[in-house]
Structures are given as structure tokens and as C-alpha cells.
Amino acid sequence: MITNLGEITVEDGVIVSINPDKKGPKIALPGLVDLHTHLREPGREDAETVESGSRAAALGGYTAVCAMANTSPVADTAGVVEQVWRLGREAGLVDVQPIGAVTVGLGGEQLAELGAMADSAARVRVFSDDGHCVSDPRLMRRALEYVKAFDGVIAQHAEEPRLTTGAQMNEGEVAARLGLVGWPAVAEEAIIARDVLLAGHVGARLHICHVSTAGSVELIRWAKSKGWRVTAEVTPHHLLLTEDLAVDYDPVYKVNPPLRTEADVLALRKGLQDGTIDCVATDHAPHSVEDKECEWAYARPGMLGLETALAIVVQTMGPQWDRIADWMSVAPAKIAGLTGHGHALQPGQPANITIFDPDVRWTVDPTALASRSRNTPYAGMELRGRVEATYLRGEPTVLNGKATR
Amino acid sequence: MIKHLLSAADLDAAAATLVLDTAAEMASLAGREVKKLPALRGRTVVNLFYEDSTRTRISFEAAAKRLSADVINFSAKGSSVSKGESLKDTALTLQAMGADAVVIRHPASGAPHRLANWVEGSVVNAGDGTHEHPTQALLDAYTMRSRLKRLAGLNVAIVGDVLHSRVARSNVQLLHTLGAKVTLVAPPTLLPVGVGAWPAATSYDLDAVVPDSDVVMMLRVQRERMNQAYFPSEREYARRYGFDVPRMRRLPEHAIVMHPGPMNRGMEIAPEVADSPRSTIVEQVANGVSVRMAVLYLLLGGKA
Amino acid sequence: MVDRIAHQILEKTSGAAETVLLGIPTRGVPLARRLAARIATFEGAEIPVGVLDITLYRDDLRLQATRALGHTEVPPGGLDGRRVILVDDVLFSGRTVRAALDALKDLGRPRTVQLAVLVDRGHRELPIRADYVGKNIPTSIEESVRVSIAEHDGTDAVVIKNRGAQT
């Protein structure tokens, strides 16, 4: 294939050569890796399955996704994580790497069998109660310490629950006017401040999920300056969208953490650009129509993201292809311990490749997405650039913008 | 005229004044032999109430009936709603029944906005969560205008649980539109973060605000807020923010005291104040019917 | 023309005893006031004048954008048992008068109801006729008849225009 790097030749799932004399306009990126995906299976197969989510991921240019643990049953045992891992293998469109729950049933009270999940066929390295915060500081400390034994990482959903009871959207002028309970930035920042201190104290790895505020960026910058092992992700929607979208009470814009202000958006972009934030993760969160076509307060929080992420990142951060490769493939693969992914495109590396056409314009049509759900905040928006092909170890999962199966 | 009344911000000064003027004409009906007008004959108004509010429902029902509309009361209790039917499915049912207007009371902020997407008729917000209650603000403005003969330039103090009050949000919007000056008075815990963007001043000190007020509007304070640490005790709240006789004495001669009801006597308002001639509480109820007649007429009276 | 109507009324009602004039907004109202003033001059009798807004009783309410309400004013003493004379500027289809009769019915029970108009231009669509007419002006249906009243329009005039004509 002819790309901006030259002509890439693949044999037996491995890149054998790149001929720099034959360059083209299509952008080649190492296969994208999503550190934060909700596949909903088992439990809510009406909203998404491992297969439908894998297809959405492939169409978005991903070759690996990390499946969050808040399924039903919760992925808090070796049995459940192996089930998800196996479903991913059967779908065969991306590598599905299960994330294990930190606490039993996401209950925040008792550690799940982290070691058993690490030792299972799924080889879990990332643990998260995402959707819930591990808010008990003692339990969080123990979790951070415990996973050091197998180089695990705790991915924290930073939200002090006592400060977000009933919260519906960012606390501020818009929430005050709309009469929606505010989700204050400090509820995120207080947990991040605490957890970076804990991680520093016990010398453990901490990953911060979906950073959404300017203050959080400041705290992470400070923690990194101390040399602590802290990483962070930002979602495409937090890089683009703001709280003002809530004005018509359409719950497609309801997400957790909530959309914030313009100032937060700019701080997140800056944090990503300067390396404070390590990567972009989608927090792809499919929800059924019934869970979104309702009153704002009753709607489930979350947005689709896999199929639009790359275009949104290019739109918000510019065509910095090397940086984008880092944010969306190299860094997340490294955090998740996915050794087969996130390698710069070079001869000898696995042929996990995303081909992106930066010039094609397309309008997001929720009904045309591969996800089983429709809750994209970009419906009707014209995006520039689309994934043309995705290769997983040399096998095309997407060709001409269509999934191969 | 607008199609829906979802927020007091839907009304500009001309439209709001038209509602108040129309309400004044509707009020003259009260003294007539036949208290019924044919304006909405053959139109169907549905009262869709997801919260118990007999006062508001009866007020809308009386308003619709005096305009000869057919009224259907759809209460969340004992209907398919309590069996978990979604608002959207309920909306489609009402649509099929030919509702020309839906008056909705709902515990979730923004529910009327959602409903407006799903029905063809007009939607009137009769109170949504902690968002707005625009007809309450209209009847409050009507009451102020009747008593004080003007709205522009009036100093209006709105006192109490602003954070959770849909009455306060609608009043701030409407009174600003009509040229009154609003001061919100509350403990800092009961003012929303972001209140600085509202077209109103704020104060934590009721005694400082009272002497310059033409209108004092007391908001209902729910006792359970105490358990959520918004204030330490009922006694302390009543002492700092309750409207009692000494505060009433410091009001200007002409000033009035309002309350949207239902009152917690002894908490936010002393019984002697509630029953004094300055109190407009009973008038507010009567004016509610006239104002809601005006709203229903202006939304439904003309070409759909 | 107003003088003529005043004389007709006095003649037919033997001195306008127990009579109330109800003007129909907009221009029926100043006309009713003028009529009352003339009758007072000729006969020395004070006739109560009221206003009857018919907006909510119109049969074309649904055909147009919502109309603002006018003010209805029943004179002291009410309408029950009295002779009510409705006053309007132009009698055309008769629909305004029908609406006025409906509105009247909700206000009380007059002994008789009569109708006084400045201009009767014909083309009735309902079985309604005027008891007192300032002037009969046969018109084409294509024409429009506009009455101007000094109190409202700054000048007294009756203008007949072809509707198609540019103005």
C-alpha cells in the first residue's frame, strides 16, 4: 500500500519493507489502541456486543481495545475476563484486552482477585472500577500496591462520590440555569490529587481515566514533575465538546465526567500537546435508545466514540501524525502492556496498520455506524478524514472504509 | 406568539406584557354571571402530572375549563406511567389522543423540553425539577403589577432556597425582562455555583436588603435540606432567613410579601406575616387561574 | 350620519328609555360615545355606554394568529331587562354581530337587542340586519370599506377602495 511513509509491503503479518520513493497522500499509522472501551457484553448485548464493538473499533482504525469491567456480571473474576477475551478472539476484528475490576462487583469495598485475573488467559494488567471511583483511600492504596507484583496499573475513574451525589452535568453557569445538579471539577481533582500522592508514596503505577478539567491537568503535570509513575488519558469528546450542548436537555450530551467549559477544553489540548496527558482514549459507551431517549436525569451517561475518534483528534489537534500515532497507539499500548501493538511502522514489526484518508469529508449518520447503539454526539456533523483500511497482523479488517466481516 | 412555554426566557418584554394584559381581561370574568368563554371549544388540554401538585393542576384545569377546552388529567400515579412507561411513549399516546396542549409537571429538569420534541401540540411547563415554573413567575408578576401598579424599577428580594427553586429561576428571568431589579437572598449553600451569571444581585444578609425592597418573595425551604448540610438547624435558618414581624416592620410602607405556597409557617415565614395585609398569598392563587387562562389562550387561541 | 342614527334611535325607542349602547371595538366604541353625546344633546337623556369585546367569540379565531383581547366594559346597572343597542362602524358579513350576540348572552339577558351601524355595505352571510343605519353603500365584494373616526384615526372619513388597487 502507498502511504505518506512510502509503499508498505507485508508478508505473514509482518512489515517487510517500506519504500520511501513511493509516497502517497494516505496516512499510515500504527494500528490504534483504545485504552477505554465499553463493549457491554456480557449483560447488555442490546447496546453492544464484543463483536459489534470490535467492528466499530476496526472501522475507527483500532487494532486493539481494552474492554472495561463494568459488564453484568462484572469482570471481577478470571472467568469473566476470559469469557470476554475469548469472545474477542472469536470476533477476530481487533485484539480485545479485558480490564479487570479493582473491587468485587465494583462495590468499592473488597479487592477483586486481581492476581487470578492477571494469571488468567486474558493476562489482565489494567484494573479499573470505571463508572465508579475507588473512593476509599485505604482500598485505593492497597490496590495500587498489590498490582505492583505483576506490573499492573490501576486506572482510576476520578470522582469523589460525596461531591457528585445526583450530579448531572458540569457545575457552573449552565447547570445553574438549567436546574441540573452540578458535577464540580473539584470532585475529579480531589481524587487525582489524593491518588497521585498515594502512587508516589507506594511507588506504584496510576492511570487517570478521562481527564476532563484544567485543574486535573495541572495536578498531573505536578505529579509527573515529581517523577511519579502517573499516566493519563483524555477522550475525543472532552477535546471538542463543551457543557453548552446541554441546553436542550438532549441526553446524547450526557457523559461522565461531564462536558466542561471552553477553558477546560483548551487546557486539555495543551496538556495533550505538552505530554502531560499521555494518550487519547474513547470511553466508547454505547447505550440503548431507551436509555437515551428520555429525561436528562434518567438517561445513562456515555457517548459512542470508536468510529469518530481519529477524525476528532485530527480536527482538534491538527495533522500531527507522529504525535497522533503516539497518543492513539504507542502510549496506550505501553500503558496497557500490549506488546504486540503500538510499534512505529518499521520493517520487522507486526503489521498492525491504520490507513487514514485525511481529505475525505463525511457526515456522521448514527444509523450507519457499526455500533449497536446510536448515541453519538456528532450526529449530522461533517468530519474530515476517515479510516480507509485497517490491518490486524497483516489481515485487513477494514477495506475501502468497510469492515471485511 | 410562541408555540411552547418552557421557560420564562421564552417571553420577551412585549410577549410577557401581553400575557399580563390578557390575564387582566380574563380576571374580569370572575365577576361575571357566566364564567366561561368559548375561545378553546373543541380543543383538548392534557394535564400530565408526574408530581403531586393539586394546587397547580386545579389552577390549570380551572383555566382550561373556563376557556371551554376539554381537559384530560393524566396523573403519574395509578397509570401506566408508574408501570415504567417512558415519557416518549406517553407523549405518543397523548399525541394519538389529539392533545392540542400538554401541561406538564415533572420532577426532572428539562422534561418539558424533551416532551416538546415528541408532541405536535403546545407544551406548557408547569414546573420541572429544579429548573423553571414560568406560569408561577407570570402570576407573581401579575400580582406585583396589580398591587404596586408597575414592574419596571421595582426592587424584588427573592429569599430562601434559590438553589433548588424553579420559582426563583423563572422569576429572575421574567422580572429582569420586565425591568425589575432582583436580589437573591440566601445562605451561600443555597445559591448555585454560577449564579453570578444571572441577571440578579445576591446577598447573604436579609436585614440589609429588607429596607429597600418593594417586594419580598419567600421561597419554600424543605426541612430535609438540613440533613444535607445546607444549614445547621431550622431554628438558625428561621432566625437568619425567615420573614418575621420585626423584619416586616422594616419594610417600606407600600411593600408586599409573597410566597408561592405551600408555606412552612414558622420556618421561612412567620404566621403573622403570612396573614397580614401585606401578604399576597391568597391573591396569588386567584391570579394563577387568570394568568393560566391567558397563557392557554395565547398559545392555543389562534391558528395552530 | 351620526345625527341621523341618533334621531332614528330616539324615534324608534320613544326617548331611549332603559337603553344601553355597547360599542364593538375598535371603531364601534367612539361611535357609541358620540351617539350617546348626540342623544344627550337632543333629548337631555344620559344613556349608559359600554364596550363589548368579541374576540373570544369570533368564528375565525382559529384561522389567524392569536389575537390580543380587547377590554369589555359593562355599564353600571348591567344589561338585564334593558334595551341593548350594539354599535359598529361597518355591517358586512354579519359575523361580528353574531359573535357580539354570543358574547352578550354570557353577560346578561337584555329585553331586546338592536344594531346600529354607520355603514351597511351589503353582502350578508348570516340572517342579520341593522335597526339603525347611517348610510347604505352598495359595494362590490371586491371593494373594501374603511371607516376612519377622529378619536381613533385622527380624521372622520369613509373610504371605499378596490382591494386590488395599489395604495
Q: Pick the catalytic residue: B57, B105, B164, B259?
A: B105
Among residues of chain A, what percentage have pLDDT more than 90?
100
- Average pLDDT over chain B reads 93
Q: Is residue B1 part of a domain?
A: no
Chain A residues with beta carbon closer than 8 angstroms to that of B162: none
Secondary structure E strands in A269-352: 279-280
Give the CATH number for residue B101: 3.40.50.1370
Considering the domain boundaries, does residue A200 fall inside one?
A: yes
Q: Where are the alpha helices (DSSP H) in chain B?
A: 13-28, 54-66, 87-96, 111-118, 134-148, 166-177, 206-209, 234-241, 245-249, 271-274, 281-300
Across the strands, what pairs with A27? A356
Complex ipTM, two decimals?
Answer: 0.94
Res. B82: pLDDT tops 60:
no
Print the domain residue range for A185. 31-344
Task: State how far Cα A125 lies from the chain centre.
Answer: 16
The residue assigned the cell 477475551 is: A85
Q: Give yes or no for a contact between B161 and B225, defined as CB atoms under 8 angstroms apart.
A: yes
**Domain ranges, residue B42:** 8-132+285-300
**Summary mean pLDDT of chain A:** 97
Nearest CA in chain B to C65: B302
- Domain containing residue A134: CATH number: 3.20.20.140
CA distance B184 to B159: 6
Tell me, yes or no, if B129 comes closer than 8 A to chain A by beta carbon: yes
CB-based burial, A250-265: b 16+ in 10 Å, e otherwise? bbbbbbbbbbbbeebb
Mean pLDDT for the stretch of residues B236-241: 95
Residue C46 has a pLDDT of 86
Based on the domain organization, do B144 and B33 belong to the same domain? no
Using an 8 Å CB-CB cutoff, list residues of chain C that contact chain B: 53, 56-57, 61-72, 102, 105-108
Selecting from 3.30.110.40, 3.40.50.2020, 3.40.50.980, 2.40.110.10, what CATH number does the domain C2-140 have? 3.40.50.2020
Whether A307 and A370 have beta carbons less than 8 Å apart is answered as: yes
Collect the ranges in chain A with pLDDT lower than 70.
none
- Residue C165 pLDDT exceeds 60: no
**pLDDT digits over B92-114, tens only?**
999 999 999 999 999 999 999 99
Residues B22 and B143 in one domain: no
Structure confidence by residue, pLDDT tens digits, C2-53: 889 999 998 888 877 889 999 999 899 999 999 999 999 888 878 999 999 9
Q: What is the pLDDT of residues B248-262, one digit of tens each?
A: 999 999 999 999 988
Q: What integer best gives the mean pLDDT of chain C?
A: 90
Q: Is C9 helix (H, G, I), strand (E, B) or coil?
A: helix
Residue A392 in domain:
no
Tell me the shortest Cα–Cα distance from B166 to chain A, in angstroms. Answer: 8
Order of strands, sheet of A95-98, starting from the edge strand that comes earlier in the sequence: A32-37, A62-67, A95-98
Chain C positions touching B297 (Cβ under 8 A) are 56, 66, 69
Does the annotation flag A291 for ligand binding? Answer: no
- Judged against a pLDDT cut of 90, whether residue B44 lies above it is answered with yes
pLDDT digit string, tens, across residues C68-123 = 898 899 998 889 999 999 999 999 999 999 999 999 999 989 999 999 999 999 99
Is B42 in the same domain as B62? yes
Q: pTM of the entire structure?
A: 0.93
Residue closest to A353 by CA, chosen among A289, A313, A396: A396
d(CA A208, CA A220): 9
Cell numbers at A170, concatenated? 458540569
Consecutive H or E run containing A62: strand A62-67
- The nearest alpha carbon in chain A to B9 belongs to A177
How is chain C split into domains, by residue range? 2-140
Where b means 16+ CB within 10 Å and e means fewer, B83-93 reads eeebbbebbee
Confidence at B79, pLDDT banded by 50, 70, 90: low
